[in-house]
Protein backbone atom coordinates (compact mmCIF):
# COMPACT_ATOMS: atom_id res chain seq x y z
CA UNK A 1 0.00 0.00 0.00
CA UNK A 2 2.83 2.36 0.84
CA UNK A 3 4.36 1.70 -2.57
CA UNK A 4 1.04 2.32 -4.25
CA UNK A 5 0.56 5.53 -2.28
CA UNK A 6 4.09 6.62 -3.22
CA UNK A 7 3.25 6.02 -6.85
CA UNK A 8 0.29 8.37 -6.54
CA UNK A 9 2.52 10.95 -4.87
CA UNK A 10 5.10 10.60 -7.66
CA UNK A 11 2.39 10.99 -10.27
CA UNK A 12 1.03 14.01 -8.44
CA UNK A 13 4.42 15.68 -8.34
CA UNK A 14 4.93 14.90 -12.03
CA UNK A 15 1.56 16.46 -12.86
CA UNK A 16 2.40 19.60 -10.90
CA UNK A 17 5.78 19.81 -12.64
CA UNK A 18 4.13 19.36 -16.05
CA UNK A 19 1.60 22.11 -15.33
CA UNK A 20 4.42 24.41 -14.22
CA UNK A 21 6.36 23.76 -17.43
CA UNK A 22 3.27 24.36 -19.59
CA UNK A 23 2.65 27.61 -17.72
CA UNK A 24 6.20 28.79 -18.39
CA UNK A 25 6.06 27.86 -22.06
CA UNK A 26 2.71 29.56 -22.53
CA UNK A 27 3.67 32.70 -20.57
CA UNK A 28 4.60 34.39 -23.88
CA UNK A 29 2.51 32.50 -26.44
CA UNK A 30 3.11 34.90 -29.33
CA UNK A 31 0.93 36.94 -31.66
CA UNK A 32 -1.08 34.01 -33.01
CA UNK A 33 -2.36 33.09 -29.56
CA UNK A 34 -3.11 36.73 -28.72
CA UNK A 35 -5.12 37.05 -31.94
CA UNK A 36 -7.07 33.89 -31.11
CA UNK A 37 -7.77 35.19 -27.59
CA UNK A 38 -9.15 38.48 -28.92
CA UNK A 39 -11.18 36.63 -31.56
CA UNK A 40 -12.88 34.62 -28.83
CA UNK A 41 -13.70 37.82 -26.96
CA UNK A 42 -15.10 39.36 -30.15
CA UNK A 43 -17.55 36.45 -30.45
CA UNK A 44 -19.23 37.77 -27.31
CA UNK A 45 -18.78 41.46 -28.15
CA UNK A 46 -18.48 41.83 -31.95
CA UNK A 47 -18.85 45.63 -31.88
CA UNK A 48 -16.02 46.30 -29.43
CA UNK A 49 -13.87 48.98 -31.03
CA UNK A 50 -10.92 48.45 -28.63
CA UNK A 51 -10.88 44.71 -29.43
CA UNK A 52 -11.11 45.29 -33.19
CA UNK A 53 -8.36 47.89 -32.96
CA UNK A 54 -6.09 45.56 -30.96
CA UNK A 55 -6.67 42.59 -33.27
CA UNK A 56 -6.05 44.76 -36.32
CA UNK A 57 -2.79 45.98 -34.83
CA UNK A 58 -1.67 42.43 -33.96
CA UNK A 59 -2.64 41.06 -37.36
CA UNK A 60 -0.52 43.72 -39.06
CA UNK A 61 2.44 42.85 -36.83
CA UNK A 62 1.86 39.20 -37.69
CA UNK A 63 2.16 40.02 -41.40
CA UNK A 64 -1.54 39.73 -42.30
CA UNK A 65 -2.29 43.29 -43.37
CA UNK A 66 -5.40 42.32 -45.35
CA UNK A 67 -7.16 40.84 -42.31
CA UNK A 68 -5.90 43.74 -40.21
CA UNK A 69 -7.56 46.11 -42.67
CA UNK A 70 -10.86 44.23 -42.34
CA UNK A 71 -10.83 44.77 -38.56
CA UNK A 72 -9.87 48.42 -38.80
CA UNK A 73 -12.45 49.26 -41.45
CA UNK A 74 -15.12 47.65 -39.30
CA UNK A 75 -13.89 49.70 -36.34
CA UNK A 76 -14.03 52.86 -38.49
CA UNK A 77 -17.74 52.25 -39.20
CA UNK A 78 -18.39 51.92 -35.46
CA UNK A 79 -16.24 54.91 -34.40
CA UNK A 80 -15.62 57.20 -37.39
CA UNK A 81 -13.91 59.96 -35.36
CA UNK A 82 -11.46 57.73 -33.48
CA UNK A 83 -7.94 58.96 -34.28
CA UNK A 84 -6.29 55.73 -33.09
CA UNK A 85 -8.16 53.95 -35.87
CA UNK A 86 -6.81 56.50 -38.36
CA UNK A 87 -3.29 55.80 -37.14
CA UNK A 88 -3.62 52.02 -37.46
CA UNK A 89 -5.38 52.31 -40.81
CA UNK A 90 -2.58 54.50 -42.13
CA UNK A 91 0.12 52.08 -40.99
CA UNK A 92 -1.77 49.09 -42.41
CA UNK A 93 -2.56 50.72 -45.76
CA UNK A 94 1.08 51.73 -46.08
CA UNK A 95 2.12 48.11 -45.48
CA UNK A 96 -0.17 47.22 -48.39
CA UNK A 97 1.44 50.00 -50.48
CA UNK A 98 -1.89 51.79 -50.86
CA UNK A 99 0.00 55.02 -50.42
CA UNK A 100 -2.63 57.63 -51.24
CA UNK A 101 -5.15 56.15 -48.79
CA UNK A 102 -2.45 55.57 -46.18
CA UNK A 103 -1.22 59.15 -46.39
CA UNK A 104 -4.76 60.45 -45.95
CA UNK A 105 -5.25 58.42 -42.76
CA UNK A 106 -1.83 59.26 -41.33
CA UNK A 107 -2.37 62.95 -42.02
CA UNK A 108 -5.74 62.72 -40.27
CA UNK A 109 -4.03 61.32 -37.19
CA UNK A 110 -1.21 63.87 -37.28
CA UNK A 111 -3.65 66.76 -37.70
CA UNK A 112 -5.45 65.58 -34.56
CA UNK A 113 -2.82 67.40 -32.53
CA UNK A 114 -1.06 64.47 -30.85
CA UNK A 115 0.98 62.74 -33.55
CA UNK A 116 2.97 59.60 -32.81
CA UNK A 117 6.56 59.11 -33.90
CA UNK A 118 5.70 56.01 -35.94
CA UNK A 119 2.89 57.85 -37.74
CA UNK A 120 5.25 60.62 -38.84
CA UNK A 121 7.95 58.13 -39.82
CA UNK A 122 5.50 56.13 -41.93
CA UNK A 123 4.29 59.23 -43.74
CA UNK A 124 7.94 60.09 -44.37
CA UNK A 125 8.39 56.67 -46.02
CA UNK A 126 5.37 57.32 -48.24
CA UNK A 127 6.78 60.70 -49.25
CA UNK A 128 10.14 59.09 -50.02
CA UNK A 129 8.54 56.31 -52.10
CA UNK A 130 6.65 58.88 -54.10
CA UNK A 131 9.62 61.13 -54.88
CA UNK A 132 8.86 63.85 -52.34
CA UNK A 133 12.19 63.87 -50.46
CA UNK A 134 11.89 67.29 -48.82
CA UNK A 135 8.50 66.42 -47.33
CA UNK A 136 9.94 63.09 -46.19
CA UNK A 137 12.86 64.80 -44.45
CA UNK A 138 10.49 67.12 -42.57
CA UNK A 139 8.46 64.16 -41.30
CA UNK A 140 11.59 62.20 -40.39
CA UNK A 141 12.83 65.18 -38.35
CA UNK A 142 9.47 65.55 -36.59
CA UNK A 143 9.39 61.83 -35.84
CA UNK A 144 12.89 61.89 -34.36
CA UNK A 145 12.01 64.91 -32.25
CA UNK A 146 9.44 62.69 -30.53
CA UNK A 147 11.45 59.48 -30.33
CA UNK A 148 15.00 58.62 -31.38
CA UNK A 149 14.33 55.42 -33.29
CA UNK A 150 17.52 53.85 -34.71
CA UNK A 151 15.86 52.70 -37.94
CA UNK A 152 14.47 56.18 -38.58
CA UNK A 153 17.92 57.74 -38.16
CA UNK A 154 19.29 55.24 -40.68
CA UNK A 155 16.43 55.71 -43.16
CA UNK A 156 16.80 59.48 -43.08
CA UNK A 157 20.55 59.25 -43.65
CA UNK A 158 20.07 56.95 -46.65
CA UNK A 159 17.66 59.43 -48.18
CA UNK A 160 20.03 62.34 -47.53
CA UNK A 161 22.92 60.43 -49.09
CA UNK A 162 20.81 59.61 -52.16
CA UNK A 163 20.29 63.36 -52.54
CA UNK A 164 24.01 64.05 -52.17
CA UNK A 165 23.51 65.75 -48.81
CA UNK A 166 26.45 64.03 -47.11
CA UNK A 167 27.12 66.72 -44.52
CA UNK A 168 23.50 66.67 -43.34
CA UNK A 169 23.56 62.87 -43.22
CA UNK A 170 26.72 62.91 -41.11
CA UNK A 171 25.30 65.52 -38.73
CA UNK A 172 22.06 63.56 -38.30
CA UNK A 173 23.86 60.28 -37.67
CA UNK A 174 26.19 61.90 -35.16
CA UNK A 175 23.17 63.26 -33.32
CA UNK A 176 21.62 59.81 -33.39
CA UNK A 177 24.82 58.22 -32.11
CA UNK A 178 24.80 60.50 -29.07
CA UNK A 179 21.09 60.10 -28.44
CA UNK A 180 20.99 56.31 -28.70
CA UNK A 181 24.01 55.73 -26.50
CA UNK A 182 26.29 54.77 -29.37
CA UNK A 183 24.19 52.31 -31.39
CA UNK A 184 26.57 50.23 -33.50
CA UNK A 185 24.40 50.35 -36.63
CA UNK A 186 24.40 54.16 -36.51
CA UNK A 187 28.16 54.20 -35.88
CA UNK A 188 28.74 52.01 -38.94
CA UNK A 189 26.52 54.24 -41.08
CA UNK A 190 28.41 57.31 -39.85
CA UNK A 191 31.74 55.63 -40.64
CA UNK A 192 30.55 55.01 -44.21
CA UNK A 193 29.34 58.55 -44.82
CA UNK A 194 32.39 60.18 -43.21
CA UNK A 195 34.61 57.96 -45.35
CA UNK A 196 32.72 59.18 -48.43
CA UNK A 197 33.36 62.74 -47.23
CA UNK A 198 37.07 61.89 -46.84
CA UNK A 199 36.88 62.84 -43.15
CA UNK A 200 39.33 60.08 -42.32
CA UNK A 201 40.48 61.38 -38.93
CA UNK A 202 36.87 61.51 -37.76
CA UNK A 203 36.33 57.95 -38.99
CA UNK A 204 39.41 56.73 -37.14
CA UNK A 205 38.14 58.33 -33.93
CA UNK A 206 34.83 56.48 -34.31
CA UNK A 207 36.69 53.21 -34.83
CA UNK A 208 39.15 53.78 -31.99
CA UNK A 209 36.27 54.38 -29.58
CA UNK A 210 35.00 50.87 -30.38
CA UNK A 211 38.47 49.34 -30.15
CA UNK A 212 38.68 50.69 -26.60
CA UNK A 213 35.37 49.00 -25.68
CA UNK A 214 35.49 45.68 -27.52
CA UNK A 215 36.77 42.42 -26.09
CA UNK A 216 37.33 40.97 -29.58
CA UNK A 217 38.83 43.66 -31.79
CA UNK A 218 39.42 41.87 -35.11
CA UNK A 219 36.61 43.45 -37.13
CA UNK A 220 37.31 46.97 -35.88
CA UNK A 221 41.03 46.64 -36.60
CA UNK A 222 40.04 45.48 -40.09
CA UNK A 223 37.87 48.55 -40.54
CA UNK A 224 40.76 50.70 -39.39
CA UNK A 225 43.00 49.11 -42.00
CA UNK A 226 40.49 49.65 -44.80
CA UNK A 227 40.01 53.33 -43.90
CA UNK A 228 43.75 53.94 -43.71
CA UNK A 229 44.15 52.22 -47.08
CA UNK A 230 41.48 54.45 -48.65
CA UNK A 231 43.19 57.46 -47.07
CA UNK A 232 46.45 56.46 -48.77
CA UNK A 233 48.25 55.75 -45.48
CA UNK A 234 49.63 52.43 -46.67
CA UNK A 235 52.14 51.75 -43.91
CA UNK A 236 49.59 52.43 -41.16
CA UNK A 237 47.04 50.30 -43.00
CA UNK A 238 49.46 47.37 -43.15
CA UNK A 239 50.08 47.75 -39.43
CA UNK A 240 46.35 47.70 -38.69
CA UNK A 241 45.88 44.51 -40.73
CA UNK A 242 48.83 42.90 -38.96
CA UNK A 243 47.22 43.75 -35.61
CA UNK A 244 43.91 42.35 -36.87
CA UNK A 245 45.61 39.07 -37.79
CA UNK A 246 47.30 38.87 -34.40
CA UNK A 247 43.93 39.43 -32.73
CA UNK A 248 42.24 36.82 -34.92
CA UNK A 249 44.95 34.28 -34.02
CA UNK A 250 44.54 35.07 -30.33
CA UNK A 251 40.80 34.48 -30.49
CA UNK A 252 41.17 31.25 -32.50
CA UNK A 253 43.67 29.88 -30.00
CA UNK A 254 40.84 29.92 -27.46
CA UNK A 255 37.86 29.10 -29.66
CA UNK A 256 38.27 27.58 -33.12
CA UNK A 257 34.69 28.22 -34.17
CA UNK A 258 33.43 28.77 -37.72
CA UNK A 259 32.67 32.44 -37.10
CA UNK A 260 36.22 33.13 -35.89
CA UNK A 261 37.72 31.22 -38.82
CA UNK A 262 35.71 33.37 -41.22
CA UNK A 263 36.86 36.46 -39.37
CA UNK A 264 40.51 35.49 -39.86
CA UNK A 265 39.83 34.60 -43.50
CA UNK A 266 38.64 38.17 -44.04
CA UNK A 267 41.89 39.48 -42.62
CA UNK A 268 43.92 37.18 -44.86
CA UNK A 269 41.88 38.32 -47.84
CA UNK A 270 42.48 41.99 -47.03
CA UNK A 271 46.20 41.25 -46.78
CA UNK A 272 46.21 39.53 -50.17
CA UNK A 273 46.86 36.10 -48.64
CA UNK A 274 44.15 34.35 -50.64
CA UNK A 275 45.32 30.74 -50.18
CA UNK A 276 45.30 31.03 -46.38
CA UNK A 277 41.87 32.63 -46.51
CA UNK A 278 40.57 29.70 -48.57
CA UNK A 279 41.91 27.19 -46.02
CA UNK A 280 40.12 28.99 -43.16
CA UNK A 281 36.87 29.22 -45.10
CA UNK A 282 36.96 25.53 -45.98
CA UNK A 283 37.57 24.68 -42.33
CA UNK A 284 34.66 26.92 -41.30
CA UNK A 285 32.34 25.17 -43.75
CA UNK A 286 33.36 21.75 -42.40
CA UNK A 287 32.32 22.94 -38.95
CA UNK A 288 29.17 24.71 -40.14
CA UNK A 289 28.07 23.58 -43.64
CA UNK A 290 25.13 26.04 -43.74
CA UNK A 291 27.22 29.08 -42.87
CA UNK A 292 26.14 31.11 -45.89
CA UNK A 293 28.71 33.90 -45.48
CA UNK A 294 31.56 31.36 -45.45
CA UNK A 295 30.20 29.60 -48.56
CA UNK A 296 29.66 32.87 -50.45
CA UNK A 297 33.09 34.27 -49.53
CA UNK A 298 34.79 31.03 -50.57
CA UNK A 299 33.06 31.16 -53.97
CA UNK A 300 34.20 34.76 -54.43
CA UNK A 301 37.81 33.88 -53.64
CA UNK A 302 37.77 30.86 -55.93
CA UNK A 303 36.35 33.02 -58.73
CA UNK A 304 39.05 35.63 -58.12
CA UNK A 305 41.67 32.88 -58.30
CA UNK A 306 40.42 31.71 -61.69
CA UNK A 307 40.61 35.27 -63.00
CA UNK A 308 44.28 35.59 -62.05
CA UNK A 309 46.69 35.18 -65.01
Instruction: For the chain, give every domain's residue range.
Output: 41-114, 115-197
Query: Is the confidence at residue 12, as pLDDT, over 60?
Result: no
Instruction: Determine if the pTM surpasses 0.75.
Output: yes
In the chain, % helix, strand, coil (3-state, to 5) comes to 80, 0, 20
Strand spans (E) along the chain = none
Largest distance between two CA atoms of the chain? 88
**What CATH number was assigned to the domain covering residues 115-197?**
1.25.40.10
Which pLDDT value is given to residue 304? Answer: 82
Question: H helices of the chain, where?
Answer: 2-25, 31-44, 49-61, 65-78, 83-95, 99-111, 117-129, 133-146, 150-162, 166-179, 184-196, 200-213, 218-230, 234-254, 258-270, 274-287, 292-307
Query: Tell me: the pLDDT tens digits for 230-245?
Result: 999 999 999 999 999 9
Which pLDDT value is given to residue 308? Answer: 64
Query: Tell me: the pLDDT tens digits for 171-189?
Result: 999 999 999 999 999 999 9
Query: Is the confidence at residue 222, as pLDDT, over 70?
Result: yes
Query: Is the confidence at residue 6, as pLDDT, over 70?
Result: no
Query: Is the confidence at residue 43, as pLDDT, over 70?
Result: yes
Which pLDDT value is given to residue 181? Answer: 93
Give the confidence band of 7 by pLDDT, cuts at 50, 70, 90: very low
Mean pLDDT for 27-47 is: 86
Query: Tell me: the pLDDT tens digits for 106-157?
Result: 999 999 989 999 999 999 999 999 999 999 999 999 999 999 999 999 999 9
Which pLDDT value is given to residue 309? Answer: 59
Question: H helices of 147-183, where?
Answer: 150-162, 166-179
Q: d(Cα 35, Cα 33) in Å, to the nearest integer?
A: 5
Which class in CATH covers the domain with range 41-114? mainly alpha
Query: Is the confidence at residue 27, as pLDDT, over 60?
Result: no
115-197 shares the fold of 41-114: yes
Query: Is the confidence at residue 9, as pLDDT, over 60?
Result: no
Measured CA distances, 305 to 27, 262, 293, 301 (Å): 54, 18, 18, 6
Q: d(Cα 95, Cα 210) in Å, to the nearest integer?
A: 36
Query: Tell me: the pLDDT tens digits for 251-269?
Result: 999 999 999 999 999 999 9
Amino acid sequence: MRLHHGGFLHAGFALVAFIAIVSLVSAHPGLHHDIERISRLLEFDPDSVPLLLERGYLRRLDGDAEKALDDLQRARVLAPSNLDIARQLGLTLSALRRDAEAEKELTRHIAGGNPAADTLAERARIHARNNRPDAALIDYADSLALFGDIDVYLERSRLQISLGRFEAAAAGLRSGLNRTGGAVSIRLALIRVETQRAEYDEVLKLIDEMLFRQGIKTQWLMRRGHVLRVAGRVRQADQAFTEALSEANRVLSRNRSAIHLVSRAKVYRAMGRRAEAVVDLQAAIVRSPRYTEAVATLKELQAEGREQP
